[in-house]
Amino acid sequence: MKYLGIDYGKRKIGLAVSDGNLAEPLKVIRYKDIKLLVQKLKQIIKLEKIEKIVVGVSENQIAEESKKFANMLKAETYDETLSSHDAIEMSIQSGMSRKKRKEKEDAFAASIMLQNYLDSR
């Protein structure tokens, strides 16, 4: 089964994919209009032949917004608490530059969240 993991944010989202037991970062998408974002994601879902979508939901104020977003995509939700923090820590430890970390941290967070989801199954 092919999975798409999404780290949802108000201005950008991180995407990760898995075609088995290992999640990997895909890309970060910046957006202004949620409807256009959903259209773009549906294209990616079709192109990548995604069978299941998992949206990370944290414990803060954005949790309800993340759940609504997941419903728009008919996606499952999964706890992503600390995945962004873990992604930053891992990229620092790997020696990645600050600029590159900022560009990719949401995709790394999506990857960590999706990996945790896969590991829990």
CATH number at residue 15: 3.30.420.140
Range of the domain at 31: 3-120
Per-residue pLDDT tens digits for 63-77: 899 999 999 999 999
Mean pLDDT, the chain, whole residue set: 87
Domain count within the chain: 1
Residues contacting 53, CB < 8 A, separation 6+ = 3, 4, 6, 45, 70, 73, 74, 75, 76
Determine the pLDDT at residue 60.
Answer: 76
pLDDT of residue 61: 77
